[in-house]
Each structure stands twice: as C-alpha cells, then as structure tokens.
Structure 1
Amino acid sequence: MNIANKITISRVIMIPIFLIFLLVPMHLGTVPIWHAHVPVSQFIAGIIFIVASCTDWLDGYFARKYNLVTNFGKFLDPLADKLLVMSAFVSLVDFHYIPSWMVIIILAREFAVTGLRLVAAGEGDVIAASKVAKWKTTFQMLAIIFYLFNNLPFGLNGFPLADILLWIAVIMTIISGWDYFYKNREIILKSK
C-alpha cells in the first residue's frame, strides 16, 4: 500500500472521530472566536474536519508527484470524500444549520455518480474524479467548515459566507453530475 492510499485511509478513519465530537453531547464549554463562542466539541470536530479535508489534497499530491496513482486510490479517494462530506452535511441538517433539500440534491448526485462508477467498473473502466467534481468537493468542504465554526468571523457582521458557499456547492454538484453522465454516456448506453 503506497503513501497516497494510506493518507486516504486515514481520512476514512477520521470520520467517526469527527462525528463523535460533533454529535455526542459533551459539555466542555465554549471557545471564544472573534467575540463569539463555539462549543469546544464542535470546535474540535471542525479542526478534525479541516485536517481530514487537507488529506484530500495531500493524497492527490503524493499520487501525482510520485506516480502512485492506482485503481484502488481512484476508487477510495472519491469514496472517502463522499463519506466525510455526507456525514457532515447530514449532521448539519440535524442541527438545522442547512436545509435538507440542498443535502438531498447533493446526496442524489453522489448516489447517481457512484452508480455510474459501479457500471463502469463492471465494464472494466475506472472513472476518476473530474476537475469540476474536485471544485465541487472544495466548495462543499469550505461551506461545512464555515458552518462548523458558526460562519466566523463573517457571521459577526451578518455576511452569510457559509450560505453562499453552500449555494455554490449545490450548483457545482448539479454541474459535475451532468458532466459525469455526459462524458460517460457510452458506458451507460453499452450496458443496456
């Protein structure tokens, strides 16, 4: 197992730790940030999410720089992203931070693209993440980070940066879903 794949696996391992700090009631106080307060457990969850998100860039860097691109990595990297991002989005819906319909659109696209990847795998093809999908994931992760930190420091003056990032993420989600299906339509057509 190469270093890039180990980094990807570490992202998967961080997900339950992130969820424990985010979802399990812990009365650890608050962290003052820019004249506002974030619960300590949510703050720790946010830090874990940031570290896990950075591993997405790091595994890709090692894979490309040292020619460590493998089919396992092409499969696991987007799956690890989906697990991390979806667990965070579902949690944020539970906290009433974001509307469920936006997460449903994101989830639907993820399931559809995963289905496409499974069909491609059955045909012996591997569909790697596209550039549009990478931008989509970046905007999703940024939105989640700002929600986890209560949109600080922007929330203090009423600027809804987290909401704007989420809207961009939803639009990019739709565009990247269409992009995957359009570029890989032959796979679907030949599997009929």
Structure 2
Amino acid sequence: MKLTLPTILTLFRIVLIPVLVVTFYLPYRWSNFVAAMIFTICAVTDWADGWIARRYRLTSAFGAFLDPVADKLAVTVALFVVVQSHPTIWLALMSAIIVGREITISALREWMAEVGERRKVRVAAIGKIKTIVQMVAIVCLVYRDDILGLPVFSIGEWLLGVAAALTLWSGLGYLRAAWPAFQADAGEHRNDPDDRRGDRENS
C-alpha cells in the first residue's frame, strides 16, 4: 500500500493525540498553550489532508477510512481530558451529546453503505459549521487561561454548547435523510416469508 501525503498527514494527526494528552497534564505554565497548539494542528491537518486529497486526486480507500477515525479520536480524547480536569455537569452533558452523535452517525453511515444508500448521508453544510465551532471551542477549553481579560474557558464552554446544538440539528438531518431507507428495509422484512416464519417460531 502506497502512502499518499493526505494519509501521512492523517497518521501524523493520530500520533499527535497521545502527545496532546501528555502535554495537557504536564505541570508547566506553558503546557496548556502547547496542548492548544497541538489540537489546532490536528484541526488544520484535518482540513488540509482532505483538501489535498481532492485537489490532487490523492484519495484512497485507506485514507477515506482513516481520516474520520483520526478526527473523531482527536475530538473525543480532547473532550475527555477537558471534562476530567473540569468535571461539571454542563461540560459532561455537552461532550456526551457530541461524542454520542459521532458514534450514532458513524454507525448510520456504515449501515447506509451496506444497503447502498451512503450518498444520502454525506456531510452537509451545517455539519461543516458544527465542526468549525466545535474545534474553536475545544481549543479554548484546552488553553483554559484568560487572554487580555477575555474569559477564554467560559467562551469555550458556550461555544461547546452551540456545537452540541448544531450536533443535534445535523444529526437529525442525517436521520431524516436515512429514514426512507429504514422504512424500505422494514417493509422488505415484513414481506419476506422467511422472516415471518422466523417470527412465528420465536413467538
């Protein structure tokens, strides 16, 4: 398997995740700044590898699989360390919404691919806006300290709330797009005599 530049950037992003965790917990004044920069690099390379892959036609099956995995790992791990260091109901709830949605939509896309309807759950514009807000929120939460009197952590908390709301909105959009496939699949099972026989045997 030949590694393309986008795939190398994605692998680099995965390597940065444990570095982010270790840096976040280092007992130095600069650790929060470096951790925030590491997550920023993760966010930038997430955009860059996709752009490069599309611009120079360097797409691959492995890269298409790995890119969303790296993105979700970075976001999930960053939220975990933030909640662990600031265990509030607000942060825990917003983080649970974001992570739960990612798991749900990943499962939905996998199922839609199995039934040949993957194109119906492509990333929408609201999903891209959600990603931007989410990334900025996490950078603020990881950095933590005020800047020129601005309450960076509080800004991050509110932005995370906005990201969670956009997460629910976009998630409902994906489910709405997939609903006809759910109904069609349910109808096929109802009309399948083997399924009906199995239902009678299990009743």
Q: Which amino acid aligns with 2:104?
A: A
Instruction: Specify which structure has the higher proportion of strand.
Output: 1
User: Quick one: higher RCO (CA 8 Å, sep 6+), 1 or 2?
Assistant: 1
Match of 1:48 in 2: 38
Q: Give the match for residue 53 of structure 2.
A: 63
Paired position in structure 2 for 1:164 = 158
What's the TM-score, normalizing by structure 2? 0.77
Query: TM-score, normalising length from structure 1?
Result: 0.81
Which residue type is aligned with residue 165 of structure 2? I
Q: Which of 10, 16, 19 is the matching residue for 1:17?
A: 19
RMSD: 2.3
1:126-177 per-position Cα deviation (integer Å, ceiling 9, x unaligned): 45433322221211110011112225326x2457421231121111111111
Q: What is the rounded CA distance, in whole Å, between the counterparts of 1:112 and 1:53 in structure 2?
A: 22
Give the letter aligned to residue 183 of structure 1.
A
**Does the Cα contact within 8 Å between 1:11 and 1:52 map onto a contact in 2?**
yes
Match of 2:4 among 2, 10, 17: 2
- Measure how far apart 1:72 and its partner are: 3.5
Q: How does 1:19-34 map to 2 (within 5 A)?
A: 19-23=21-25, 26-27=26-27, 29-30=28-29
Other structure's SS at 2:123 match: coil
Q: Alignment identity in percent?
A: 31
Separation (CA, whole Å) in 2 of partners of 1:180 and 1:107: 16
Unaligned runs of 5+ in 2: 187-203
Q: Cα offset for 1:8?
A: 1.6
Q: Indicate the structure with greater helix content.
A: 2
Deviation at 1:89, TM superposition (A): 0.7
Tell me if the contact between 2:7 and 2:49 (Cα under 8 Å) persists in the aligned partners. Answer: yes
Q: How many Å apart are 1:188 and its aligned residue? A: 3.1
CA change 1:125–1:94 in 2 (3 A) is same
**Post-superposition offset of 1:103:** 1.0
Residue number in structure 1 paired with 2:95? 103
Letter in 1 for 2:111: V
Q: Which residue among 66, 75, 99 is the counterpart of 2:65? A: 75
Structure 1 counterpart of 2:146:
152
- The alignment partner of 1:184 has SS state of helix
Which of 82, 87, 96 matches 1:92?
82
* Larger Rg computed on CA atoms: 2
Structure 1 Cα separation of the partners of residues 52 and 182 of structure 2: 32
Is the CA contact (8 Å cut-off) linking 1:63 and 1:69 kept in structure 2? yes
| Distance in 1 separating the partners of 2:182 and 2:14 | 29
Q: In structure 2, give the amino acid aligned to 1:178.
A: L
Deviations 1:22-75 (A, max 9, x none): 24xx33x31xxxxxxxxx222222111111111011011101211233444333
Deviations 1:4-28 (A, max 9, x none): 22212221121111112124xx33x
